[in-house]
Amino acid sequence: MSGTALMAANVFRESVRDKVLYNLVFFAVLLIVASYLIGQLTAGQDIKIIKDLGLAATSIFGLFIAVFIGIGLVSKEVERRSIYALLAKPIERHQIVIGKYVGVVLTLAVNLSVMAAALYLVLAYMRWVSPENVVRALEAPALDPAMLKAVGLIFVELAIITAIALFFSTFSTPILSATFTFGLFVAGQFSGDLRNFDQVVASPVAVYVARGLYWVLPNLAPFDIKAQVVHGQPVSAGYLALTTAYGVAYIAVLLTAAVLIFSRRDFK
Amino acid sequence: MRLTAVRPIAIGVVLIVVLMATAVEVQRVRDRSFPLRSIEDSSMYLTSPKTARRIALGYRAVAADVYWIRALQYFGGTRRMVDAGETITDPARRQYAALYPLLDLTTSLDPRFNLAYRFGAIFLAEPPPRGPGRPDLALALLAKGLAERPGHWEYMMDIGFVHYWWRQDFSAAGEWFQRASETPGAPWWMKSLAATTLAQGGDRQSARMMWEAIRQSAEIDWLRHEAERRLAQLKALDDIDALQAMVDRVAAATAQPVLEWTPVMRAAGWRGVPIDPTGTPYEIDERGRVRLSRSSPLWPLPADAPRIDQAPSRP
């Protein structure tokens, strides 16, 4: 097994040991309780609301995993001084960074897969108990496979967040890394507004600055297709491919920068 | 630093630049293939001032600033689109429907936000298409401000202005100017403005006096420019009266309706068509009436603004 794979497996094992997968229990309980409560509160929109809630919870739970594991990847090793033992092993520094990143992404993949499966199970149950006229009135099928497109883009978005957290973790403290990562996550949701800044501001300088930020900051808004899939609107393969390609390129930028910083860092 | 140490950094930096350029290019291709939606800045996020106050916790003033900026962008952005001749497809946006709720939220979060009351009232009273044409809401906003600061003569003066300029209710305007003039701290000219309005309200001379007073006392450029625009509108009204008299004379002399400027120019010995204070030519309509061009920055003139028929409030 290569150094990178060893690191990845180790991070995954550690996250299991840290009870990260417990969030899956919370997720399942949330969906079951919500499906009961929503059934009492709404008229005919239960399945749609469960889809909204399930996809939003998938994204939020994943975000917390990505940020709170990501920010400690390197800084925790430094704090515990276990970095010295790690560096003494026959493993390259870039393998440490990439391996840790892959480990978190693997944790996220397992989490998201289980959450998606749980969501489909709850939806299957609700489809079974819903009257036929309610099911017929739905904009999209209860067990719409298109929801996997939304889950897929949530996964790529979380992979970017993890890369951001890891990047900050290579040179900053966990608290600052978390602050920066959440800050970029929020900014990334509004970067479309930066692109269209000329619609609200006349100053060419402000427009150029906003346009520059649009290209440099992570643009996370396109990864959010939850509303489209829930309403049964088509999301083309081209869109998915381009958005994913953007995500991969952006992750590559962040990982390269993280490797560069970590390789140059003096731990004496 | 040795060359061997510099090389990996240089390679890393080049790699980052190349990858970033790739990310930008992919994003550009996606934006081209799947265009971004325009900014939906009419969305309110919150509509209840009570909820907004609770959610803002200890940051009400900052939240009020954010809503004030959004109100400005909403009003200014819509007005820019109107001025640029763009088609506004959203009917709510065309009517500036979110403006009052945004201002209401701003002033609920920060009840002493002086500028939001005063400028907000000006924005709300502006007639369509350059504003919502809601003097009633302008008065409601100023009344809210006055309830918060009962001794604030500026709000009383602004209420008087709304009555005077947009509702043409000169007696209500005069009464509010009178009340403002009796409030401690009111400027000396307030008394004469009240007297003039009560005595001869509605004539252009008193309106000119009112806007001249604002122009001279305005501490903010925007308000000064607004007053200058109003003064230019009054000048345009004077021009139109004078030009109409000339057109009527030419029509009587030639016993033919005058539908263009050529016979008037010939009779008056003018070299060109008459222009308004912004340099836009005046027009003659199919009934031989002189009017301001719709393309003029001064359009619509106050006399063209719709009147509100509700009973005006008195101090």
pLDDT tier for residue B244 given thresholds of 50, 70 and 90: very high
DSSP-assigned states of every residue in A30-46: HHHHHHHHHHHH-SS-H
Which two tokens mark B71?
A: 């109100």
pLDDT tens readout for residues A66-87? 998 888 888 888 888 888 888 8
Predicted local distance difference test score (pLDDT) of residue B310: 37
CA distance B277 to chain A (A): 25
pLDDT tier for residue A41 given thresholds of 50, 70 and 90: low
Is B29 in contact with A215 (Cβ distance < 8 A)? Answer: no
The answer, for B76 touching chain A at a CB cutoff of 8 Å, is: yes
Largest CA distance in chain B: 99
CA distance B139 to chain A (A): 27
- B229: closest CA among B157, B131, B142? B131
The answer, for A263 touching chain B at a CB cutoff of 8 Å, is: yes
| CA–CA gap between residue B241 and residue A215 (Å, rounded) | 56
The answer, for A237 touching chain B at a CB cutoff of 8 Å, is: no
Is A222 in contact with B77 (Cβ distance < 8 A)? Answer: no
- Between chain A and chain B, the number of residue pairs with CB atoms below 8 A apart is 68
Predicted local distance difference test score (pLDDT) of residue B305: 41
Which two tokens mark B305?
A: 């603004």
- A116: closest CA among A65, A57, A156, A63? A57
More confident call, B201 vs B170: B170
Is B12 in contact with A259 (Cβ distance < 8 A)? Answer: yes
Average pLDDT value for residue range B264-269: 90
Average pLDDT value for residue range A165-187: 92
Task: Please tell me which of the candidates A195, A242, A246 has its beta carbon nearest to residue B36.
Answer: A195
Q: Sort out which chain A residues have CB atoms less than 8 A from B19's CB and list them.
A: 249, 252-253, 256
The answer, for A127 touching chain B at a CB cutoff of 8 Å, is: no
Predicted local distance difference test score (pLDDT) of residue B309: 36
pLDDT tier for residue A116 given thresholds of 50, 70 and 90: very high
Share of chain A above pLDDT 70, in %: 95
Average pLDDT value for residue range A208-217: 88
Average pLDDT value for residue range B162-171: 88
Is pLDDT of B25 > 50? yes
Collect all residues with Cβ–Cβ distance below 8 Å to A185 and sequence separation of at least 6: A63, A67, A161, A164, A220
pLDDT tens readout for residues A89-112? 888 889 999 999 999 999 999 989
CA distance A97 to chain B (A): 14
Residue with tokens 């000119």: B208
The answer, for A196 touching chain B at a CB cutoff of 8 Å, is: yes
Phi first, then psi, for residue B281 (nearest 5°) are: -65, 140
pTM exceeds cut of 0.80: no
In chain B, what are the domain boundaries?
49-203, 244-304
Is pLDDT of B1 > 60? no
pLDDT tier for residue B62 given thresholds of 50, 70 and 90: confident
Tell me the ipTM for this assembly: 0.72
Average pLDDT value for residue range B166-170: 87
Predicted local distance difference test score (pLDDT) of residue B306: 38
Q: Sort out which chain B residues have CB atoms less than 8 A from A245's CB and list them.
A: 26
End-to-end CA distance of chain A: 29
Predicted local distance difference test score (pLDDT) of residue B308: 37
The answer, for A111 touching chain B at a CB cutoff of 8 Å, is: no
Q: Sort out which chain B residues have CB atoms less than 8 A from A242's CB and list them.
A: 26, 29-30, 33-34
- Which CATH number does B49-203 carry? 1.25.40.10
Task: Please tell me which of the candidates B15, B30, B36 has its beta carbon nearest to residue A246.
Answer: B30
Average pLDDT value for residue range B108-125: 90
Average pLDDT value for residue range B208-220: 77
More confident call, B112 vs A244: A244
| Lowest mean pLDDT segment, chosen from A31-45, A123-137, B208-222 | A31-45
The answer, for B38 touching chain A at a CB cutoff of 8 Å, is: yes
pLDDT tier for residue B165 given thresholds of 50, 70 and 90: confident
- B52: closest CA among A149, A20, B44? B44
Torsion of CA A29, A32, A34, A38, to 10 degrees: -170
Predicted local distance difference test score (pLDDT) of residue B3: 54
Is pLDDT of A234 > 50? yes
